[in-house]
Every structure is written in structure tokens, then in C-alpha cells.
């Protein structure tokens, strides 16, 4: 939800509640003042009627607004204020009246005097107030919405400009600086903080990049020297069997360390997006080419290979990373297969799918793509192949999923 929508929703909710409460209060206030004014008018009418009877001696009648009649002596003298329904012949229905009645002694006689006037009925008053309040509320909301929208867009434009510039930010391009200007203190502070943050990110990235490259180079050099020395030792005449085995074991471990270092460096480079070069790649041809690399291994394990590869499936991506992804997935399907098993490969322009026969995983499927996760603990593999695959998919914004069904391990990459 956008901030403007949330703000408008809060405005509407608060305004609606305020108008509802104001409408109720307005109804009671209007009703109270109207009745008070009506009471004053009726008292004034009774006063004038009394004067007229004293002066002229006749009883004025104007039913139903004025009612006067002579009553027996010693009648109750207190006055009453009531609301009463009286049938109106003109409109042929009962109408609500405000009535003040009392008994007064005039010229030695007692008279019942009642003065009445029509009241606004509650439902009519409520209807009028609801229409007026609702109309004002709607007009206010419409005006508030457009004013707030226009004002908000103007105020928040520097923020959106900053967002657009941040989307173009790349940590391998030093000297990043925000160009959007704003006179608002909050946005000025935001831009200053973001500039400091991006400079720190660029600096940390450059330091990490140098470290990984230097560390890899410094490690690979002594490893190459050790491997060369061990190879020379293995060629010495007169080596005992135990000595040869120790030298060979050390040589194998140096090879594993060298491979691990290169793989970790590759992972770091992928995570840092150090493979920006992209071009159109024919995945169908690339896949066929990499399958040929594993033909000897497939024959060695008597595997059945089933292919459904659509021709000329092209994709705009980095060649080296895509090649690494395909090699890792095919290599896993061959390495972790059973003797006489099968490999199924499918490719079209939207997804790449590879499945192989095998026993269920001894580890959780959710950890399959984690670094150093190995289904076979005795394997000399570092367990980084699928981690590399996941990083390549993340970098290219591809979706990767693993499924185990019908005794088949299936990995699907959706482009």
C-alpha cells in the first residue's frame, strides 16, 4: 500500500468519525434550541391571549394552534409542556405539535388555555441533518483527496527522484552521488545519509573484492608450489610404499584445497555480481555440448539418458555462469545416480529441468542448496555445486525448485 493511500484512508476514517459524532451532536443541539425557541413563542402567545380576553372579553379560537375554554372553578393551576399528535384535516394525517397548557383566572373566571405550534418531526430533522452533513462530508473528502494528492505528490517528488537514482546504484561504480534536491530538512538528511551509506557500501565492496582476489592468488601460488614439489617427490626412485601413500595423500588434499579455494572465489564473484557481460546464448547447443562431456561417465554407470530439448532456445545471460549451472546440474545427476539408473533432461524457452534416479535425500530438501551441504558425507566434493547454482539463479532472477517424486530427484529452473 502506498503512503498516500494510507494517509488518505486515515483522513477518511478520522473525518467520517468526526462528522458522524458532529451530526449526532448537531441534531441534539438543534432540537434543544428549536424547542426552547418554540416554548418562548408559545408563552408569548398565551400572554397575548390573556391580555386579549381581559380587554375584549371574547375567547379567540384558532384550532389547533389556540384552544380556550372555560373550566370549573378550583381546577389545577399548574401548566404543562407536552408534545402531542393532532389530526390535521387539511393534510389528512396526524401532525406533531408542541403544546403549552395552563389554567388562568381572567375577569373572575377560570379558563383552560392551550397554545400549540408544529414541531419538526424527528425523522425529518434527522433526514435533513444527514443530507446536509453527508453532502458537506463528501464535498470535503473530495476536496481533501485532490488537494492532498496534489500536495503530497509535489512534496514527495524528491523522495521518488532519490528512489529512481538508487535503483541505478551499482557498487562497482565509485563516485555515486544523489542529484535530487529538496528544501525539506527530512529529505536533505535522508540524501546525506544515503550518500554516506552508498559510499560505505562501495568502499566495503572494493575492499572485499581486493581481499578475495589477493587471498585466492596468494593461496593458489603456494599450493601450486606444494603440488609441484609433491609431484617431484612421487617420482623419486626407491620410495617405500608407505612414503608414496603419504605423499599421494598430501597431493590429493592440496588438489582439494585448490579446488575449494577456486569454488569459494567463484561464489564470492557471483554474489558480488562480477559477471556483468551478457549476450544471447543458444541453450540448446550449449546443453548438447555439455552432455557430451559426461558421455563416458554415463556409459561407465550404465545410465539411460532421455532428452527433450527444444531447438534454438536462446537466453540473454552470462555465458560462463550459464555453462557452470548446466555443468553442475548434469554432474550432480550423474554423480548421485545409481548404477543402471536414468537421467531425464528437458529444455524449452521457459524452463530447464533435469531429473535422476536415486534414493531419498538423507538431508532436508530445504538445505540442499546450502553451502557445504553433502548428501554423501564420504564424498570428496566440497558441497558447493548447488550453492553456486542457486547464486547464479538469484543473480539472473531465475526461480529454482527441487522435487523428489517417483524415486526421481528433479531440479527445475524457470527462466
Closest residue by Cα to residue 350 from 313, 387, 296 = 313
Q: Are 342 and 356 in contact (CB under 8 A)?
A: yes
Q: Are 102 and 80 in contact (CB under 8 A)?
A: yes
Residues with Cβ within 8 Å of 206's Cβ and at least 6 positions away in sequence, in order, are 174
Note the pLDDT of residue 374.
63
Residues with Cβ within 8 Å of 4's Cβ and at least 6 positions away in sequence, in order, are 148, 149, 152, 153, 156
Q: What is the pLDDT of residues 96-134, one digit of tens each?
A: 888 888 888 888 788 888 888 887 665 666 677 778 877
pTM above 0.75, yes or no: no
Q: Are 129 and 23 in contact (CB under 8 A)?
A: yes
Q: 189-199 burial string, b = 16+ CB within 10 Å, else e?
A: ebbeebeeebe
**CA dist., res. 119 & res. 305, Å (int):** 95
Note the pLDDT of residue 11.
73
**CA dist., res. 31 & res. 50, Å (int):** 29
Residue ranges with strand state E in 43-179: 66-70, 80-88, 93-106, 109-118
**CA dist., res. 406 & res. 394, Å (int):** 28
Note the pLDDT of residue 77.
63
Q: What is the pLDDT of residues 16-51, one digit of tens each?
A: 788 788 778 877 887 788 788 888 888 888 888 888
Kind plus residue range of the DSSP H or E element containing 353: strand 351-357
Note the pLDDT of residue 224.
82
Note the pLDDT of residue 378.
52
pLDDT digit of tens for each residue in the chain (415 aa)? Answer: 666 677 777 777 887 788 788 778 877 887 788 788 888 888 888 888 888 888 887 777 777 888 888 888 765 666 788 888 887 777 677 888 888 888 888 887 888 888 888 876 656 666 777 788 778 878 877 887 787 777 777 777 788 888 888 887 776 666 677 776 777 778 888 888 888 888 888 787 777 777 777 776 677 778 888 888 888 888 888 778 888 888 888 888 888 787 777 777 777 777 767 777 888 999 999 999 999 989 999 999 999 999 998 988 898 988 988 998 999 899 889 988 899 999 999 999 889 999 999 888 767 767 777 766 666 655 556 667 788 888 888 888 899 999 888 888 999 999 8
**CA dist., res. 186 & res. 276, Å (int):** 36
Residues with Cβ within 8 Å of 386's Cβ and at least 6 positions away in sequence, in order, are 328, 332, 368, 369, 373
Note the pLDDT of residue 343.
93
Neighbours of 287 (CB within 10 A): 20
Output the CA angle 201-202-206, nearest 5 degrees. Answer: 115
Note the pLDDT of residue 200.
83
Residues with Cβ within 8 Å of 57's Cβ and at least 6 positions away in sequence, in order, are 107
Q: Are 42 and 100 in contact (CB under 8 A)?
A: yes
Note the pLDDT of residue 413.
92
Q: Are 263 and 384 in contact (CB under 8 A)?
A: yes
* CATH code matching the domain that covers 279-414, chosen among 3.40.1450.10, 3.20.10.10, 1.10.3720.10, 3.30.565.10: 3.30.565.10
338 backbone φψ class: left, alpha, beta (φ>0; ψ -120 to 50) = beta
Output the CA angle 64-69-71, nearest 5 degrees. Answer: 140
Pairing of strands 304-309, 342-347: parallel
Note the pLDDT of residue 357.
92
Q: Are 64 and 143 in contact (CB under 8 A)?
A: no
Amino acid at each position: 500500500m502506498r503512503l498516500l493511500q494510507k494517509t488518505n484512508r486515515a483522513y477518511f476514517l478520522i473525518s467520517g468519525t468526526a462528522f458522524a459524532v458532529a451530526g449526532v451532536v448537531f441534531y441534539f443541539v438543534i432540537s434543544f434550541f428549536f424547542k426552547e425557541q418554540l416554548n418562548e413563542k408559545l408563552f408569548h402567545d398565551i400572554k397575548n391571549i390573556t391580555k386579549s380576553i381581559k380587554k375584549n372579553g371574547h375567547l379567540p379560537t384558532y384550532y389547533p394552534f389556540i384552544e380556550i375554554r372555560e373550566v370549573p372553578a378550583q381546577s389545577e393551576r399548574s401548566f404543562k409542556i407536552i408534545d402531542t399528535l393532532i389530526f390535521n384535516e387539511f393534510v389528512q394525517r396526524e401532525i406533531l405539535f408542541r403544546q403549552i397548557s395552563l389554567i388562568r383566572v381572567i375577569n373572575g373566571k377560570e379558563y383552560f388555555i392551550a397554545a400549540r405550534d408544529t414541531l419538526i418531526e424527528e425523522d425529518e430533522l434527522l433526514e435533513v441533518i444527514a443530507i446536509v452533513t453527508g453532502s458537506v462530508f463528501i464535498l470535503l473528502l473530495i476536496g481533501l483527496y485532490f488537494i492532498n494528492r496534489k500536495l503530497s505528490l509535489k512534496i514527495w517528488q524528491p523522495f521518488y527522484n532519490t528512489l529512481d537514482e538508487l535503483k541505478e546504484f551499482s557498487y562497482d561504480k565509485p563516485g555515486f552521488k544523489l542529484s535530487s534536491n529538496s528544501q525539506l530538512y527530512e529529505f536533505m538528511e535522508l540524501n546525506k545519509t544515503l550518500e554516506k551509506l552508498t559510499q560505505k557500501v562501495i568502499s566495503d565492496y572494493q575492499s572485499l573484492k581486493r581481499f578475495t582476489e589477493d587471498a585466492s592468488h596468494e593461496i593458489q601460488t603456494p599450493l601450486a608450489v606444494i603440488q609441484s614439489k609433491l609431484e617431484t617427490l612421487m617420482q623419486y626412485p626407491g620410495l617405500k610404499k608407505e612414503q608414496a601413500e603419504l605423499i599421494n595423500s598430501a597431493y590429493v588434499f592440496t588438489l582439494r584445497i585448490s579446488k575449494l579455494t577456486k569454488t569459494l572465489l567463484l561464489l564470492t564473484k557471483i554474489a558480488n555480481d562480477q559477471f556483468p557481460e551478457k549476450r544471447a546464448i543458444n541453450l540448446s547447443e550449449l546443453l548438447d555440448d555439455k552432455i557430451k562431456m559426461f558421455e563416458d561417465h554415463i556409459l561407465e554407470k550404465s545410465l539411460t539418458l532421455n532428452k527433450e530439448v527444444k531447438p534454438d532456445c536462446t537466453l540473454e545471460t552470462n555465458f560462463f555462469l550459464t555453462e557452470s549451472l548446466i555443468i553442475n546440474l548434469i554432474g550432480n545427476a550423474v554423480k548421485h545416480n545409481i548404477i543402471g539408473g536414468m537421467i531425464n533432461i528437458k529444455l524449452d524457452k521457459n524452463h530447464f529441468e533435469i531429473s535422476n534416479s536415486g534414493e531419498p535425500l538423507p538431508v532436508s530438501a530445504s538445505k540442499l542448496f546450502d553451502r557445504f551441504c553433502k548428501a554423501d558425507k564420504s564424498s570428496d566434493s566440497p558441497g558447493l555445486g548447488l550453492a553456486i547454482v542457486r547464486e547464479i539463479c538469484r543473480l539472473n532472477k531465475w526461480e529454482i525448485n527441487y522435487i523428489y517424486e517417483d524415486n526421481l530427484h528433479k531440479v527445475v529452473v524457470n527462466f
